[in-house]
Amino acid sequence: MNIKFLSSILFLFGTTMLFGQNSCSKYYPMEEGSTFQYTMYDKKDKVEGVTDYVVSKVENSGGNTTATMELKFTDDKGKNVLESDYNITCTGDGVKIDYRSLFPSQMKKQYEDMGMEMDITGTDIQIPNSLSAGQTLDDANVNVSMDMGAMKMNINVETYDRKVEKEESVTTPAGTFNCYLITEKSKSKVMMSNMETSNKVWISEGVGMIKQETYGKNGKLMSRMELTKFSK
């Protein structure tokens, strides 16, 4: 089991996937068939993989709109590494992600088939429709406890100190976009191993996340991810 990859996926789901626009949400897709592609690069600017997203289902109930996001992660050699999905709910003032759906469903089934008991807890991640420079955003976290008799493991990812810094223009292979820059910090704990990072995330109204950069505790760039394709 690649723990580093697993904690990275949890962090990726939970803090950066801001898409699309409709009457309910400015930064999440609520239209079936919308697609987004993000390319991930390492600190030397080498491609590490590509993640493709599609909005597979949209449902309305009790004044709320819920969208199901399906994703496929392909590594730098073109191998399909992971397929999963998670849910986004829009209430009109903004959106929240169900923390229980953040753990990749493909991995969850695999571990349960092995007899592993799992408990997933956390705080639903919320993104308001209105963003402005100087604004502070709520913290978020997800914790996964796994128990298979002799082996027990906890994975915790916390995102905190989230701030909207400023507006600026960003260019990627998908085009040039007017964005809000959001900065945040993250702590990942896997048993006795800890990792701290800081992140910069650029999001654009009507499109969503355009670019993300992740820095290590020493302030050096570790990786980046940017929008390379999208369609609505």
CATH code, 52: 2.40.360.20
Domain count within the chain: 1
pLDDT at 117 over 90: no
What predicted TM-score, i.e. pTM, was given to this entire model? 0.80
Q: Tokens standing for 51?
A: 């993640």
Taking all residues of the chain, what is their mean pLDDT, rounded to a whole number?
80
Predicted local distance difference test score (pLDDT) of residue 52 = 92
Q: What is residue 178's predicted lDDT score, i.e. its pLDDT? A: 93
> Which residues have C-beta within 8 Å of that of residue 21, sequence separation ≥ 6?
27, 29, 205, 206, 207
Expressed as residue numbers, the domain containing 99 is 3-231
pLDDT at 90 over 60: yes
Q: What is the pLDDT of residues 5-26, one digit of tens each?
A: 444 455 454 444 544 445 566 7
> What span, in angstroms and rounded, lies between the C-alpha atoms of 204 and 84?
25
